[in-house]
């Protein structure tokens, strides 16, 4: 049990790679991850879980097959389980994800953007 808080900006300063989530905390069997996003990710879904996006810095868009949801710093969105989505950002944007331990970033899609799971920063 830590003696200090987790500072999101300090953690973000420790890595540069985009689309590569870093775990910063666990609550029960859930993880809080920071990820930097820029450009267009792959369309994918997570069949078994909802996924929360909380924008820490910058702006991004969550594209769905039937709509587009803009997200700015201080805003969040819950992607329902099984729902195809694609994160997109025109400039680098920093996001906190909340989801169960073991969720892979590309969900059912796989491919080149698939990042190692459970990498802490």
List interacting residues with its own copies (CB under 8 A).
1-9, 24-28, 30, 32, 49-52, 56, 64, 67, 69-72, 74-78, 80-81, 83, 98-100
Least distance in angstroms from the C-beta of 48 to its own copies = 9
Q: Name the residue nearer to its own copies (CB basis): 44 or 112.
A: 44
- With 0-12 CB in 10 A as exposed, 13-18 as middle and 19+ as buried, what is 1? exposed
Q: Name the residue nearer to its own copies (CB basis): 24 or 106.
A: 24
Least distance in angstroms from the C-beta of 42 to its own copies = 20
Report which of 41, 54, 46 is spatially closest to residue 86, judged by C-alpha positions: 41
Q: Which residue has the tokens 């990710």?
A: 41
- With 0-12 CB in 10 A as exposed, 13-18 as middle and 19+ as buried, what is 10? exposed
Q: Name the residue nearer to its own copies (CB basis): 22 or 51.
A: 51
């Amino acid at each position: 049990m830590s003696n200090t808080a987790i500072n999101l900006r300090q953690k973000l300063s420790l890595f540069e790679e985009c689309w590569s989530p870093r775990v910063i905390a666990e609550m029960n069997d859930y993880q809080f991850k920071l990820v930097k996003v820029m450009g267009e990710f792959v369309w994918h879904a997570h069949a078994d879980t909802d996924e929360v996006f909380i924008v820490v810095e910058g702006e991004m868009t969550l594209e769905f097959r039937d709509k587009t949801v803009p997200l700015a710093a201080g805003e969040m969105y819950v992607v329902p389980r099984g729902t195809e989505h694609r994160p997109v950002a025109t400039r680098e944007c920093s996001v906190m994800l909340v989801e169960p331990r073991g969720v892979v970033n590309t969900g059912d899609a796989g491919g080149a953007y698939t990042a190692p799971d459970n990498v802490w920063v």
